[in-house]
Amino acid sequence: MEFSASQIAELLNGRIEGNPEVKVNKLSKIEEGELHSISFLANPAYQEFIYDTDASIVIVNNDLELERPVKETCTLIRVENAYECFAKVLETYSQAKSIEKVGIESNSHIAKTATLGENIYVGAFAYIGENVKIGNNVKIYPNSFIGDNAIVGDNTIVNAGVKIYHECVVGAHCTFHSGVVIGGDGFGFAPNKENDYTKIPQLGNVIIEDHVEIGANTCIDRATMGSTIIKKGVKLDNLIQIGHNVVVGENTVIVSQTGVAGSTKIGKNCLIGGQVGIVGHLTIADGVKIAAQSGVGHSITEEGKVVQGSPAYAMGEYKRSYVGFRKLPEILERLAELEKQIKVIDIKIWENRKP
């Protein structure tokens, strides 16, 4: 499998600077570039590597300004969005390389009442419950579990050891990584007279729309009533907690180890950093950005707002406060110095007083 610079430029609608005949047969990172490999440069922090890379082709942004020439062995392909275009190259490479799993391995358990689409894969020790509906081209890897009455849409990939509880609904073109749990009970207990807790039965489900990707060991709880909803295009990283009755809006991205408590509604196109905590029953507007490790205790109604801190508020203000935090030992010294000076001044004034 070998591609020339001109083939790739055509695929990407890009402009060649260098040798259009140079050929590549592997991928590399720019800082580890080898001859006959293709790489890319999107993050300015890596720009220094472009002058010394041995990669034969590097995809760069149209607006990249070089401070000096690259190596003679290096051909550039300029495109509007180097990162996105490299993704396209990877996709093409990946499709050419992967061997698709198809068929039903023996030792899987498929209930007689389940409905299966065409061209699917069901691995050994995968469990498909009563009345489950599996779409076309779905891949269900070994040791995964799909509970009674659940639905999985076309082209979705369920990796090894994913658990989807009964009644949950999954859309098309989704990918779930190992250890994902969809539809465990929400965390609802009512204190009672015996001074312990009565469990609130969790009778709702989880609905996951199309084109959602969910990282390893992330948990999405079923609703008490109604549905916990993950909308179209949402991307969730690993080890995230989504509480019961939460709604995550379209194309929102959440980084690993973040937790969203019950009944909170998150808007679309939000970017939520890692290890963020969001309390329950809030509303987060569209396009909001939340810095990593923040704690959100109140609804955010302003679209596109950027917040940080625990509790979180405007990021710019938080950063200024944190500068002050680092100066607190100095602030205490300056305060003590002022108090001393004031005393001295008081004495001087007394000495200077009018007779």
Does a cis peptide bond (omega within 30 degrees of 0) precede residue 311?
A: yes
Min CB(68)–a second copy separation in Å = 24
Per residue in 259-292, is it b (16+ CB within 10 Å) or e — as a string? bbbbbbbbbbbbebbbebbbbeebebbebbbbbe
- C-alpha span between 353 and 355 (Å, rounded): 6
- 91 to 110, contacts with a second copy by CB under 8 A? 91, 93-94, 97, 105, 107, 109
- 267 to 326, contacts with a second copy by CB under 8 A? 269, 274-275, 277, 279, 281, 292-293, 295, 310-311, 313, 317, 320-326
- C-alpha span between 207 and 269 (Å, rounded): 19
- 144 to 203, contacts with a second copy by CB under 8 A? 144-145, 147, 159-161, 163, 165, 175, 177-179, 181, 184-185, 187-192, 195-201, 203
Number of Cβ within 10 Å of residue 118's Cβ equals: 10
Among 10, 52, 84, 303, binds a second copy (CB under 8 A): 84
Min CB(85)–a second copy separation in Å = 9
Among 142, 283, 306, 315, binds a second copy (CB under 8 A): 142
Tokens of 150: 């659940």
**Which range in 60-68, 114-122, 131-139, 327-335 contacts a second copy by CB under 8 A?**
327-335
Position 125 contacts a second copy (CB under 8 A): yes
List the beta bridge partners of residue 3.
24
Q: Which is nearer to a second copy, 4 or 217 (CB)?
A: 217
DSSP H or E stretch at residue 104: strand 103-104
Among 4, 6, 241, 283, binds a second copy (CB under 8 A): 241
Beta strands 213-214 and 235-236, pairing class: parallel
Cα–Cα distances in angstroms (integers) from residue 157 to residues 37, 153, 201, 248, 312, in the given order = 30, 10, 30, 21, 36
- 196 to 235, contacts with a second copy by CB under 8 A? 196-201, 203, 211, 213, 215-217, 219, 221, 224-226, 233, 235
Q: Which is nearer to a second copy, 20 or 217 (CB)?
A: 217
Min CB(251)–a second copy separation in Å = 5
Q: Is 173 a catalytic residue?
A: no
List the beta bridge partners of residue 164.
146, 182
Please provide the distance, in angstroms rounded to a whole number, between the alpha carbons at the two ends of the chain. Answer: 102
Question: How many chain residues bind a second copy (CB under 8 A)?
Answer: 121
- 16 to 55, contacts with a second copy by CB under 8 A? 27-29, 32, 43, 45
Q: Which is nearer to a second copy, 156 or 245 (CB)?
A: 245
- C-alpha span between 63 and 7 (Å, rounded): 22
Catalytic residue list: 244
